[in-house]
Structure 1
Amino acid sequence: MFYLTMFFQYISQYAKTRLQYRADLFVEFLSDLMSQAINLVFILVVFGHTKLLGGWSRDEIIFIYGFFLVPYAVFSAFFNIWNFNERYIVKGELDRILTRPIHSLFQIILEQIELESLLGAVTGITVMVYAGSRLGLEVTWYDPFLFFIFVIGGALVYGGIFVMLACISFWADARTSIMPMMYNISNYGRYPVNIYNKLIRFVLTWILPFAFVGVYPASFFLGKTEWYWYAFLTPLIGVVFFSLSIVLWNHGIKKYRGAGN
């Protein structure tokens, strides 16, 4: 209950701050929408030259992309830790965090929260509805529940990987970061893994499991029975990777000796 109360207090303060600058909020949402539109245009351009890509139709890949946007929006809203190294390690703000009687990762996540990113989920669902209607997909009573579970699992996969990357800063506090490179790699999860070679497919499934954010869970709703067991592994993979990230974080915190050392 203590952590739940703190969560809503952070949310309340965040909402007050963001609503003071409504124009900035609108511009940020518009820029995100344009970025998503560019990625969608790229898919349309590719299918302007071919009807199938690795056995997947244009509308199926658009559906996968729409699904991907939903867990990615949840991740972007609650795991906005791109500048962890620069802000908390190099500038020493982690010292302030550690003086409070609450888990350090929980504080940092809430300090960096960006709830407006959740609007990307609306875009993703809209894209899914559009592609699903063209594909003639039928919705059963349990699909919304599985959708919610798959989305949370995908967001935890993303969160776990990027928290692990943030943990590197406890041992190497250089200003440079591999997060931008990892962000580019994560984009491969937007597309079917069978269009890549076996090595990349293995990496995207078991090493950096970004495929569990997009193609694997989306394949369930597309009726791709050969991918079903991967789809149902999504929440398990998410819990495993996020749990590992917390263990690594707790170990890294013990190695931290302050900004001046």
Structure 2
Amino acid sequence: MRYAVLLWEYIKNYAKTRLTYRADFWIEVLSDLMFQGMNLFFILIVFQHTPSLGGWTEAEVVFVYGFFMIPYGLFTTFFNMWNFSERYIVKGEMDRILTRPAHNLFQVLLENVDPPSLIGSAVGAIIMAVCWNDLGLAFHAYDLLMLLLFVIGAVLVYGGIYTALSALSFFSDAPTGIVPLIYNIQNYGRYPVNIYNKTIRFILTWVLPFAFVGVIPASYFLDKKSDDISQLALLTPVVGIVFFILGLSLWNYGVKRYRGAGS
């Protein structure tokens, strides 16, 4: 309950700060939507040159992209840690965090919360709904429960991977590290992994499981029962929990090794 209250207080402070400059707030929202729109436009351009992609139709791939946007929006809202190394390690703000009683990772996440990213999740849900209707997919009440489980699992996959990457900053003071590289790799998870060779497919499924934030859970709703991808969909929450535990464990280990910013 104490952490829920802290979350609410941080969001209120965020609103007071950002809405002081409302034009900047809406420009940020618009730029984020334009970025997602360009990604969707790229998918549509691809299908101008091919009728299918690895056996997936245009509507199915757009459906996957819609699902991809939902956990991604939630992730960027609550796990906005892109500048962790520069701000908290290089500039020494981690010292301040460690003087407070709340868990240090939770504090870092709250200080960087980004509610406008939730708009991307809403747009993703709309895209899914439109494609669901266009594809003539059957709808059952339990589909909402499965969607919730898959989204939570996907967010945990994101959170675990990027928490682990941020934790590497405790062992090195490099201001950026490999986060930009992994950020680019994650985009491959929104496409059918069967279009890649076996090595890339293995990496996207089990090493950096970005396939579990897009195509694998989305395939559950597309009735691709004979597809190897959809058979892994129910593992999404499990993979999410496992990777988040690994990421949190590495974070806690890094905090124990942290000795402060020095002089």
The CA distance in 1 between the partners of 2:68 and 2:177, in whole Å, is 24
In the alignment, is residue 77 of structure 1 matched against residue 77 of structure 2?
yes
TM superposition score normalised by structure 1:
0.97
Q: In structure 2, what is the equivalent of residue 94 of structure 1?
A: 94
Render the CA deviation track for 1:214-261: whole Å, top value 9, x for unaligned.
000000111111333311100111111111111111110011011117
Shift of 1:113: 0.3
Name the CA distance, whole Å, in 1 between partners of 2:252 and 2:118.
Answer: 28
Once the two structures are superposed, the pairs formed by residues 134-145 of structure 1 within 5 Å of their partners are 134-145=134-145
> Which residue does 2:21 correspond to in 1?
21
SS of structure 2 residue aligned to 1:18? helix
**Residue by residue, what CA displacement relative to the aligned partner does 1:80-132 show, whole Å, maximum 9, x if unpaired?**
00000000000000000001011100000000000110000111011112222
> Where in structure 1 are there 5+ consecutive unaligned residues?
none
Residue in 2 aligned with 1:236? Answer: 238
Per-residue deviation, 1:25: 1.4
Q: Does 1:47 align with 2:51?
A: no
Alignment correspondent of 2:252: 250
CA deviation string 1:119-169 (max 9, x = no partner): 001110111122222111121111111111111110110111001000111
The answer (yes or no) to whether the contact 2:63–2:218 under 8 Å persists in 1 is yes
> Percent identity of the aligned residues?
58
Does the 8 A contact of 2:83 with 2:176 survive in 1?
A: no
Structure 1 stretch displaced more, 135-144 or 84-93: 135-144
What TM-score do the two structures reach when normalised by structure 2? 0.97
Q: Where do 1:1-261 residues align within 5 Å?
A: 1-225=1-225, 226=227, 227-260=229-262
Shifted more, 170-179 versus 211-220: the winner is: 170-179
Query: Letter of the aligned partner of 1:250 in structure 2?
Result: N
Residue correspondences, number = 261
SS of the residue 1:80 aligns to:
coil
TM superposition shift of 1:19: 2.0
Aligned-partner Cα distance in 2 for 1:4–1:42: 39
State the alpha-carbon separation in 2 of the partners of residues 148 and 20 from structure 1.
34
Instruction: Measure the CA separation in 2 of the matches of 1:37 and 1:229.
Output: 30
Q: Mean Cα displacement is larger for which, 23-32 or 5-14?
A: 5-14
Output the aligned Cα RMSD: 1.1
Question: Aligned partners of 2:175 and 2:118: how far apart in 1?
Answer: 29
Offset from partner CA, 1:162-200 (integer Å, 9 cap, x none): 010001111111223211111000000010100000000
- Structure 1 segments of 4+ aligned residues over 2 angstroms from their partners: 226-229
After alignment, is 33-42 or 222-231 more displaced?
222-231
Does the aligned pair in 1 maintain the 2:89–2:169 contact within 8 Å?
yes
The separation in 2 between residues aligned to 1:18 and 1:117, in whole angstroms, is 14
Runs of 5+ consecutive residues of structure 2 not aligned to the other structure: none
Alpha-carbon shift at residue 5 of structure 1 (Å):
1.9
